[in-house]
Amino acid sequence: MSVDAETGVVLVRDNGVLHIGLNRPHRKNALDATAVRTIIEALEAAAVDDELRVVVIEGSGGHFCSGADWVASNTGERRRPRTGSVQRRTALQAHRLIQLVTEVQLPVVCVVTGYAAGLGCQLALAADFTIAAESARIWEPFLDRGFSPDSGATWLLPRLVGIARAKELLMLGRELSGTEAEAWGLIHRAVPDAQLTATADELVAKLGSAATVAMGLTKRAVNRGLELGLVEAMEHEAYAFELSSRTADFKEGLAAFKERRVPRFEGR
């Protein structure tokens, strides 16, 4: 286990699963620039780690993540940054984080309690599977704070719920419960609060025993396909199939089918 007291990010590896814990309960797990960099580095390392099969992101203290820590970013006696500072930094911080969640060829699971707001909301939306407590709150507070959305909100939301509902969330600031977020198609599943941990553990176990290479290639094809036409998307599928058909898991899958048994994938 790796615990960074400064950033409040806890990294735990357990049987092929990387757990990324957000542990700043006094700030509802808001992420400052240092915490974002720590998570980015963890995801970059996970992307090339052949022993990992799943990434899980979760919060502590009753909340998932209340967004970027603007209080930390705007206190102290630092000199006023020069024009363009936000534009330059965001691409390497919050935007890079969301990009990695969508691009790492491992399934990413977010487990949401309490608030998932702003950057925390985008983390939950970008993940492959988000399981939320029914009482969780999904919120895009940008306009309520006087500035426009970032971290992929205007790209993710219209694709997940359509333009009208995206505008309701982004421009009117409507909060959704976990139950409503599932009904809208924003997240994988909402469950009673008491069942959240068990449900998430079951999903992570299923993903962790899957054909990891084929899983990652499928994720990549789905996400790239959002930007492509049918012919180009099928070309990507062909490359992915070529790669996945050369894995040990492919051979195991065929053998299990022939022998009428459950496959025992090793992520290879």
Assess if residue 16 is contained within a domain.
yes
Q: Is the pLDDT of residue 77 over 70?
A: no
Q: What is the CATH number of the domain that holds 239?
A: 1.10.12
Task: Please indicate, yes or no, whether residues 204 and 218 belong to a single structural domain of this protein.
Answer: no
Task: Please indicate, yes or no, whether residues 57 and 172 belong to a single structural domain of this protein.
Answer: yes
Task: Please indicate, yes or no, whether residues 201 and 217 belong to a single structural domain of this protein.
Answer: no
Task: Please indicate, yes or no, whether residues 203 and 222 belong to a single structural domain of this protein.
Answer: no
Assess if residue 264 is contained within a domain.
no
Assess if residue 266 is contained within a domain.
no
| CA distance readout (Å), 167 to 98, 119, 162, 242 | 20, 17, 9, 40
Task: Please indicate, yes or no, whether residues 64 and 170 belong to a single structural domain of this protein.
Answer: yes
The whole domain housing 145 covers 2-208
Ramachandran region, residue 67 (left: φ > 0; alpha: ψ -120 to 50; beta: rest): left
**Number of domains the chain contains:** 2
How many CB atoms neighbour CB 25 within 10 A? 14
Q: Is the pLDDT of residue 17 over 90?
A: yes
Assess if residue 265 is contained within a domain.
no
Task: Please indicate, yes or no, whether residues 189 and 128 belong to a single structural domain of this protein.
Answer: yes
Which residue type sits at 38?
T
Confidence of residue 78 (pLDDT cuts 50, 70, 90): low
**Structure confidence by residue, pLDDT tens digits, 184-201:** 999 999 999 999 999 999
User: What is the structure's pLDDT at 4?
Assistant: 59
Q: What is the CATH number of the domain that holds 95?
A: 3.90.226.10
Assess if residue 56 is contained within a domain.
yes
What CA–CA distance (Å, rounded) separates 171 from 200? 31
**Structure confidence by residue, pLDDT tens digits, 210-222:** 999 999 999 999 9
**Structure confidence by residue, pLDDT tens digits, 102-145:** 999 999 999 999 999 999 999 999 999 999 999 999 999 999 88
User: What is the structure's pLDDT at 3?
Assistant: 58
High-pLDDT (> 70) share of the chain, %: 90
Assess if residue 52 is contained within a domain.
yes
Task: Please indicate, yes or no, whether residues 216 and 203 belong to a single structural domain of this protein.
Answer: no
Assess if residue 268 is contained within a domain.
no
Task: Please indicate, yes or no, whether residues 182 and 233 belong to a single structural domain of this protein.
Answer: no
Per-chain mean pLDDT for the chain: 92
What CA–CA distance (Å, rounded) separates 108 from 41? 15
**Structure confidence by residue, pLDDT tens digits, 247-268:** 999 999 999 999 999 999 999 9
Task: Please indicate, yes or no, whether residues 37 and 148 belong to a single structural domain of this protein.
Answer: yes
Confidence of residue 86 (pLDDT cuts 50, 70, 90): low
User: What is the structure's pLDDT at 84?
Assistant: 53
Q: What is the mean pLDDT of residues 231-251?
A: 95
Assess if residue 169 is contained within a domain.
yes
> What's the predicted TM-score (pTM) here?
0.91
User: What is the structure's pLDDT at 7?
Assistant: 76
Task: Please indicate, yes or no, whether residues 153 and 226 belong to a single structural domain of this protein.
Answer: no
What CA–CA distance (Å, rounded) separates 115 from 84? 30
Task: Please indicate, yes or no, whether residues 38 and 72 belong to a single structural domain of this protein.
Answer: yes
User: What is the structure's pLDDT at 85?
Assistant: 58
Task: Please indicate, yes or no, whether residues 118 and 193 belong to a single structural domain of this protein.
Answer: yes
